[in-house]
Amino acid sequence: MDSYFGGSQPDPLRPFGGGDGDAGRARGSGVRPPAGFLGLQTSSFADFLASYSPGLMPGRAPGPGVSLGDGAGGHAIRDLPHATTIVAAACEHGVVLAGDRRATAGSMIAKRDVEKVFRSDEYSAIGYSGTGSMGIDVIRLFQVELEHYEKMEGRSLSLEGKANRLAWMIRGNLAAAMQGFIVVPLFVGYDEDADRGRIFSYDPLGGPYEEQRFYSIGSGSVFARGSLKKLFVDDMPVRDAVLASVQALYDAADDDSATGGPDLTRRIFPVIATVTADGFRRLSEAESEDYAEQVVQGRMSEPDGPPAHLHAAG
């Protein structure tokens, strides 16, 4: 373990001088490597981590022998738990983010109660699709990145700043993505200046792409998006946006084996979060259950969900 001053000698007196050795190499980050923790020039935790201890970065490539080919390695990768369908919908003065609970490994269900939607900071939330463990790594790093910046600078990043940092992190995961360990996030936040929720999507190389109204990612995203297309209304109240999201997740689970619907027997329901002027709030188990039950009850009589109007009303 390197001394916190970097190199082999404690050297607090040269905060801007490079430390010797590997701790000083920053791959592609463009930041002069700090000697230990004093005299840091960056408020970005991920930048610091890349130079201080690159082995801790999520995107470190697993090694040349591992690939998605037909060999044993490829099967191993395909059998890693993958996570799927996340839905985001803008609502009145905010945005909703909801995700299913299933992780599949090949044709098996690896986990029934995965959480794929997280609070990234007080006014934003993030969900991911792709390789489960890689996704968790990226999200953890992102959470620390945002909090670290706020503590260092005394203010939060702007929403665009947060979206850009996330894009950089996804880009950093590129080597792993090329070998099949893909992570694609969906990022939402409340914009205090504009007093509205905003949605940002990404591709395996980065982004961000700002989405309007609603979006979905993951293996079931095609079905979820189709469903939301018919249910979404601009500026809908939060409750309606949540209901529409749960409907969309249900439709995704209906058609995609890798997306899980609400598990009424075990009481496992989608993770639903809202981000509004009051900040991030994850709905309680009871509230999620409420919405899920409402949707399921409706499907008892209309299995394909509430029909959209074919002819314009009125």
Partner 1 sequence: MPFYVSPEQSMRDKADYARKGIARGRSCVALKYAGGILMVAPNPSSALHKISEIYDRIAFAAVGRYNEYENLRKAGVTYADITGYQFDRHDVTARGIANWYAQTLGTIFTESNKPFEVEIVVAEIGRQAADDQIYRITFDGSVGDEPGFVAFGGQADQVSAALKERYSEGMSLAEAFAAALAALAAPSNGERQDVVAAQLEVAVLDRARDHRAFRRIRAARLEELIAEGRAADQKAADQKAAEAAQAAEAPAQDGAPEGSGEAADPRPPIGPGAASSDDGSGGDAPPRPA
Per CB under 8 A, 205 contacts partner 1: no
Per CB under 8 A, 16 contacts partner 1: no
Per CB under 8 A, 213 contacts partner 1: no
d(CA 32, CA 51): 8
Q: Cβ of residue 4: shortest distance to partner 1, in angstroms? A: 7
d(CA 242, CA 84): 18
- Cβ-based nearer residue to partner 1, 92 or 150: 150
* CA dist list (Å): 189 to 86, 112, 121, 152, 200: 15, 27, 9, 21, 9
- Cβ-based nearer residue to partner 1, 145 or 251: 145
Tokens of 55: 């082995």
DSSP H helix total and E strand total for the chain: 8, 13
Residues 39 to 58 in contact with partner 1, rule: CB under 8 A = 39-40, 45, 48-49, 52-53, 56
Select which of 84, 104, 131, 274 is catalytic. Answer: 84
Query: With CB under 8 A as the contact rule, which of the stretches 101-109, 143-151, 200-208, 233-241 interacts with partner 1?
Result: 143-151
Cβ neighbours of residue 114 closer than 8 Å, sequence gap 6 or more: 81, 83, 101, 102, 103, 132
Q: Cβ of residue 54: shortest distance to partner 1, in angstroms? A: 13
- Cβ-based nearer residue to partner 1, 196 or 282: 282
84 is catalytic: yes
Cβ neighbours of residue 79 closer than 8 Å, sequence gap 6 or more: 105, 106
d(CA 238, CA 20): 54
* CA dist list (Å): 237 to 40, 57, 194, 232, 234: 45, 40, 17, 11, 9
Q: Using the rule CB under 8 A, which residue among 140, 229, 239, 266 binds partner 1?
A: 140
Per CB under 8 A, 12 contacts partner 1: yes
Per CB under 8 A, 118 contacts partner 1: no
- Cβ-based nearer residue to partner 1, 83 or 141: 141
Number of residues that bind partner 1 (CB under 8 A): 25
Q: How many CA atoms lie within 13 A of 283 on its CB side?
A: 23
Residues 256 to 295 in contact with partner 1, rule: CB under 8 A = none
Q: Which residues bind partner 1 (CB under 8 A)?
A: 4-5, 10, 12-13, 15, 36-40, 45, 48-49, 52-53, 56, 140-141, 144, 147-148, 151-152, 154
